[in-house]
Structure 1
Amino acid sequence: MDTMRIIEYGSCDHQAMIQLRDRILRKPLGLVFSPEYLRQEINDVLIGCFEEERILGCCILTPVNDITVQLRQMAVDEHLHGKGTGSRILSFAEEQARNSGFAELMMHARKVAAPFYIRNGYSVRGEEFVEVGIPHYEMFKRL
């Protein structure tokens, strides 16, 4: 049984989260995290899905303004794709955002992930754009 929890910045769980994000999101694109990039997460809400101590998936919530929070760095272990882990993480993130007073959750979703977000109630806003060398859409959901 998996459990969702908030991850403390700089903790062992945070290190596991960085390793998962690196494996799923960065290495396939030939990218690496810089220490400066990772330091920007210090005030964000770091969310992890765990089975005991093993991280299964994660995401980050970064406030944009008083009403909007951005979901970033959503990653799920490749062996769990299509098994509901991502939807559970997303639901937990939405609950955290709502409880913090945000009215909208938005993201820059990879084009290949857009169908997942649409199935979870998100809408595309604007035109396709390129970020980190691959196609993305801005997507959002009212909370």
Structure 2
Amino acid sequence: MNRITVRIADWHADNADLRRIREAVFVVEQEVPPELEWDADDADAVHFLAFEDEFAVGAARLLPDGRIGRVSVLKDWRGLHIGEALMQAAIAEAERRGLGRQFLTAQVYAIPFYERLGFRIDSEEFLEAGIPHVDMVRDGA
């Protein structure tokens, strides 16, 4: 397997990669309306990109309040623990910033993935963009 790395991205300099990944996963695959995918939170978020060698294959973001979101991995790279690497980077950065409690809105199918990372369900199931979700929270370091 080629080398997978994750780094903090710059919303402006890395915008093409961030948009390419999120458009492919959320807008095209999951049919999330573009007006729901792109929001004002992107400007204030810490963004993360996962790379296979020099090619960006995954993205995520961390908001100033500890909310992690927009975790996305291109279809051909799933199953390689890239989502986990993105989440570990986001959790570590949150804790570095003193955000010991992280939270997210998870698609129901992904609950076991987030539970393995220490998150627990914190809401009833609800629909967001027509997709079943739950709120999850992690009380870290």
With structure 1 as the length reference, what TM-score do the two structures score? 0.87
User: How do residues 12-51 of structure 1 correspond to structure 2 at under 5 angstroms?
Assistant: 13-34=14-35, 37-51=38-52
Q: Is 2:125 the partner of 1:128?
A: yes
Whether the aligned pair in 2 keeps the contact of 1:58 and 1:73 (CA below 8 Å) is: yes
Q: Deviations over 1:32-70 (max 9, x none)?
A: 434x93553111100111123311211000123xxxx10
- Which whole-Å CA distance do the structure 2 matches of 1:71 and 1:92 have between them? 11
Q: Is 2:81 the partner of 1:84?
A: yes
Instruction: Give the 4+ runs in structure 1 shifted more than 6 A.
Output: none
* Residue of structure 2 equivalent to 1:101: 98
Whether the aligned pair in 2 keeps the contact of 1:22 and 1:32 (CA below 8 Å) is: no
Q: 47-56 or 101-110: which moved more?
A: 47-56
2:4 maps to amino acid = D
Instruction: Compute the displacement of 1:102 (Å).
Output: 0.3
- Which whole-Å CA distance do the structure 2 matches of 1:37 and 1:17 have between them? 11
Whether the aligned pair in 2 keeps the contact of 1:2 and 1:51 (CA below 8 Å) is: yes
Task: Say which of 107, 116, 119 aligns to 1:119.
Answer: 116
For residue 127 of structure 1, give the secondary structure of its aligned residue in structure 2.
Answer: coil
Unmatched runs of 5 consecutive residues or more in structure 1: none
Identity of aligned residues (%): 26
CA RMSD of aligned residues (A): 1.9
Q: How many residues align?
A: 138
Instruction: Compute the displacement of 1:72 (Å).
Output: 1.0
Whether the aligned pair in 2 keeps the contact of 1:4 and 1:48 (CA below 8 Å) is: yes
Q: Deviations over 1:1-40 (max 9, x none)?
A: 12211111111x2211111111111223433434x93553
Q: Deviations over 1:104-124 (max 9, x none)?
A: 110010111111111222110
> Between Structure 1 and Structure 2, which shows a larger proportion of strand residues?
1
Unmatched runs of 5 consecutive residues or more in structure 2: none
* Residue of structure 1 equivalent to 2:5: 3
- Which whole-Å CA distance do the structure 1 matches of 2:132 and 2:69 have between them? 15
With structure 2 as the length reference, what TM-score do the two structures score? 0.88
